[in-house]
Amino acid sequence: MALESLSPEILLITLEYISSPLDLIAAVHASPSLYRTFIAYKQHLQGNTLTRAIHPTCRADAYSALDVQRIPQQIKSGTKIAKLKAECFSIFATDRKRRSQKHDDFKADNDMLETLFNFQASVERLIDTFCHWSLGNLFSADQGHSPLPQPATIPRARLSHTERARLQRAFYRCEVYARFHRVLQLQDKSSAMNFIQILMSYGSQFQQHEFEEMICVRQFLAKCVESLCERVEDDFLAFYTGKGLFDAGVGKKPAQELDTPTENYDTGRILKDCGLSLLTRDYRNAPYHDNHVKYLVSCGPAYILSLNELPPRELKHVLLKSERHSHDLDINDYFVTEGMINDRSDERSEMTLYRGKVVSIDRDEVDKHNLGWKWGTSFATGVKPDSPSNVLLRNMGYVFWDMRRLVDSGLVAEPYVVAMGADCFPAGYKRPFSRCSVEEQLSRWKVDVEGLREWKDE
């Protein structure tokens, strides 16, 4: 039966059964009759879909993620630092109060309903992308190196209710933390005085496995930034090739001059002088890349998703500008791309002190958490939350998955038994880019400075 022949009441009931903003958007764009019904009952359908989409245990976090959407507009409008800090403290106090309450019915003001609906659609797209990537790592022999897909090209993730709840709360909490952290970075010394306390206090609300969920998401966002940088590199190489500068025999250095330290240095210096540090080999190393990642992640998960949707030219300008801006920031983050920073260890109490949070890994406490966290802390050699070996575990999203999925992956032979030891993850493991830098590719050729500037300015 054609949808056009159905009554508006039947069409409304059909749309009311949809439990995802992404699915609702897809449905109403696929049928003129569904679109007309959606427009007629827009606020009702958006509220109904959000109630079904957001897991009941995540609603307090969703409210807080909605509240912090005001912060970017206030920063852009030039709101004073003191007022921004007061706003953040108010959001944090409200967040703590909400956690002691039940939220059986999800409610949002009509003015904010559209914002939350669009934000939830972004979260769902991020979750789908994360699942496609991390499950690829979990079930792949080449663990930790699954390519990151484009968010617009992947199917919806098939998740249990518990898996979806863990992922939702992690992305909501990362959004809140990111907005608070962005205020901390503002160029005003007063913002750093007592405002650090809000970051420490916000993280201290959560249990170990919940904190680990946030680290997994932020590590995924760092991977997204790497993918965006590689898209800019692709755009540059396509431009450079289109100009004929890579044609055989044109501008190629003599064989005896290839890959000499002086030539590599000159290539990197030329790129930097042209304002293209993003394309250099030095950018791949700390602190330049990590500072850039931390800055972009502090803009929030939804912002990073929006960068994925930019055309190449706009993406290039955003990344070049943000990379230069990150040089001027002293970004003190309590998450780093490999995990938390270990300041000191007290072996007698079996506690590890991290900036802003004391995390206990006592084995008796692990029993209270889900299988993912128990798996990550039950190695015989005692893998710690800040260990580089946990990078690969986080790339597999280990803390989000139900027991059955972990067992089916083959990494867990049976419940609470680890089939692979910590030795499988070398202590010196670092996050790799999937290929060499543009500087290294250009080092075999005479660099066309005018071509570099033309690409940068177009």
pLDDT tens-digit readout, 254-274 = 434 444 444 444 788 888 888
Tell me the three state secondary structure of residue 430.
coil
> In the structure, what pLDDT confidence band is assigned to residue 216 with cuts at 50, 70 and 90?
confident
- Residues 292-301 have a mean pLDDT of 85
* Among the listed residues 319, 318, 317, 259, the one whose alpha carbon sits nearest the alpha carbon of residue 283: 319
pLDDT of residue 1: 52
- Residues 95-120 have a mean pLDDT of 80
Domain-located, residue 84: yes
Domain-located, residue 169: yes
Q: Does residue 125 sit in the same domain as residue 198?
A: yes
Query: Is the pLDDT assigned to residue 209 strictly greater than 60?
Result: yes
Name the one residue in this structure whose structure tokens are 């359908």: 45
- Residues 403-410 have a mean pLDDT of 76
| Residue that finishes a domain, picked among 34, 51, 68 | 51
For 438, other C-beta atoms within 10 Å of its C-beta total 24
298 within 8 A of 185, measured Cβ to Cβ? yes
Q: Does residue 441 sit in the same domain as residue 420?
A: no
Name the one residue in this structure whose structure tokens are 């934000």: 119
Domain-located, residue 211: no
Domain-located, residue 215: no
**Each residue's pLDDT tens digit, 310-340:** 998 999 999 999 888 887 766 665 554 343 3
- Residues 236-248 have a mean pLDDT of 74
Q: Does residue 176 sit in the same domain as residue 246?
A: no
Domain-located, residue 342: no
| Residue that finishes a domain, picked among 158, 180, 206 | 206
- According to DSSP, residue 204 is labeled H
Q: Does residue 321 sit in the same domain as residue 439?
A: yes
**Each residue's pLDDT tens digit, 19-54:** 999 999 999 888 888 989 999 999 999 999 999 999
- How many structural domains comprise the chain? 4
Omega into 426 within 30° of 0, i.e. cis?
no
Q: Does residue 67 sit in the same domain as residue 178?
A: yes
- Residues 138-153 have a mean pLDDT of 65
What percent of the chain is modeled with pLDDT above 70? 68
Is pLDDT larger for residue 446 or for residue 227? 227
Domain-located, residue 120: yes
Is pLDDT larger for residue 196 or for residue 60? 60
Query: Is the pLDDT assigned to residue 439 strictly greater than 90?
Result: no
Q: Does residue 231 sit in the same domain as residue 300?
A: yes
> In the structure, what pLDDT confidence band is assigned to residue 249 with cuts at 50, 70 and 90?
very low
Distance of CA 273 to the CA centre of its chain: 31
**pTM, whole model, 2 decimals?**
0.81
| Residue that finishes a domain, picked among 184, 206, 228 | 206
Q: Does residue 296 sit in the same domain as residue 440?
A: yes
> How big is the CA angle at 154 (ends 122 and 18), to the nearest 5 degrees?
55
Query: Is the pLDDT assigned to residue 136 strictly greater than 50?
Result: yes
Tell me the three state secondary structure of residue 360.
strand
Euclidean distance between CA atoms 294 and 196, whole angstroms: 16
Q: Does residue 257 sit in the same domain as residue 143?
A: no
Alpha helix positions (H), 357-435:
363-366, 371-377, 390-395, 403-408
Q: Does residue 415 sit in the same domain as residue 354?
A: yes
Q: Which domain holds residue 43?
A: 3-51
Taking the CA atoms of 204, 207, 212 and 214 in sequence, report the sign of the dihedral they define: negative
Domain-located, residue 280: yes
Query: Is the pLDDT assigned to residue 125 strictly greater than 90?
Result: yes
Q: Does residue 84 sit in the same domain as residue 195?
A: yes
**Each residue's pLDDT tens digit, 331-382:** 665 554 343 333 333 333 333 322 222 233 333 333 343 444 444 444 444 3
Q: Does residue 447 sit in the same domain as residue 302?
A: yes
Domain-located, residue 357: yes
- Residues 208-234 have a mean pLDDT of 85
pLDDT of residue 412: 58
Amino acid at 17: Y
Euclidean distance between CA atoms 427 and 411, whole angstroms: 20
Q: Does residue 170 sit in the same domain as residue 102?
A: yes
